[in-house]
Structure 1
Amino acid sequence: MRHDPSTSRHRRVAAVIIGAVVVAAGLAVSEFTPAGMVADAAGDALYAALVYLIAVFVAPRAAPWKTALAALAWCVAVEFFQLTGLPEVWGAAFRPLMFVFGNVFAASDLAFYGLGIALACAIDVVSRSRVRAEPRG
């Protein structure tokens, strides 16, 4: 199968647009949702979905399962990095870093990362199959 450069370009543009929506949703959750399990779960899932979209942007031709695996590897690595205490220190010094690295390890975050990535991957697979099914003219 030949590579269509416009497909990569369209996937990157879509990843940026959808990523902006995900960031806005994440900021809204952070700002307007009362602190607690629901806010944490939503934030974790949105973070993971954004990581998936960044992986799509970086490697638009990669199979969705590979993109999902890369996103999950990043999320798991960041979560375990929190055990060092450095993300908490960095976040205290510069709050935006908390959105990237979090602050305190929570095993439940791993499940919500998986959920966010699984949803993003499922949407990606469905949208890719729809694009392939559309007649070209």
Structure 2
Amino acid sequence: MPAPVTRQAAAVRPAAVRPAAVRLTAAAAALLTVAAGLVVTYAGSGPVAKPVGDCLYTVLLHTLIVAAAPRVRPLPAAGLAFALSAGVELAQLTGLPAALAGRSTLARLVLGTTFNAPDLLWYAAGAALAAAAHAALAAAARRRRGGQARKTPTDARFGSNQTSVGSFSPNASRRAERSSGWQRTARRRPRRRAVRPARRSSLSRR
């Protein structure tokens, strides 16, 4: 039979992960990543634009994976994002992405056109960056939930006793309060000794 859950343990235990909040954060990060990628693609120039775009491509995949599976851990999500990025890059060897890119701008942005081996390194860098950011956000959320749990006030009637939640009853608590109050009062009051009258001697009777 499992041990009863105490009120003190329930107050300290951190709250569970809320998938809705994780999905919302991942969706916001995905939108920011898409905006940054479009700026780099159309406004960027020089040797830096292409590597940054490759990194953001893997970061975007990471955010989409987290949005689809909010409870996924940073390393598995980053590994899957890198695998998808590398798969798209290797698919460019078949010529199919290039054919689709000639018909659609979206396909050109998503699938690319030409295979480039150094892009795999930048995909790995983007996966590492996404995993580090994911781990930092998860750790901050755990610390925030732990702080909220420690700040939750406990019932003063229980004191340091770990009373089971299932066995709690108001009548039992009131009886315990009265008994403890009587004990404290009994300790404070000194015991009075009975005063007996002194006996008269035989001389005083005369």
Bigger radius of gyration, 1 or 2? 2
Q: Does 1:74 align with 2:81?
A: no
Identity %: 33
Superposed, which structure 2 residues align to 1:1-137 within 5 Å?
4=16, 6=18, 8-34=19-45, 36-134=46-144, 135-136=147-148
Shift of the alpha carbon at 1:4?
3.0
* Moved beyond 6 Å, runs of 4+: none
- CA-atom RMSD in angstroms: 1.7
Q: Distance in 1 between matches of 2:56 and 2:17?
A: 29
Instruction: Give 3-state SS (helix, strand or coil) of 1:93's partner.
Output: coil
Q: Distance in 2 between matches of 1:126 and 1:132?
A: 10
Q: Distance in 1 between matches of 2:48 and 2:131?
A: 22
Other-structure match for 2:168: none
Shift of the alpha carbon at 1:74?
0.5
Provide the TM-score with structure 2 as the length reference: 0.62
Unaligned runs of 5+ in 2: 1-12, 150-206
Instruction: Give 3-state SS (helix, strand or coil) of 1:107's partner.
Output: coil
Which whole-Å deviations, capped at 9, do the CAs of 1:29-78 have from their partners, x for residues lacking one?
111112x4311101100111000101111111011111111111101111
Unaligned runs of 5+ in 1: none
Letter in 2 for 1:131: A
Instruction: Give 3-state SS (helix, strand or coil) of 1:44's partner.
Output: helix
**Structure with greater helix share of residues:** 1
Q: Distance in 2 between matches of 1:14 and 1:121?
A: 15
Q: Distance in 2 between matches of 1:37 and 1:95?
A: 22
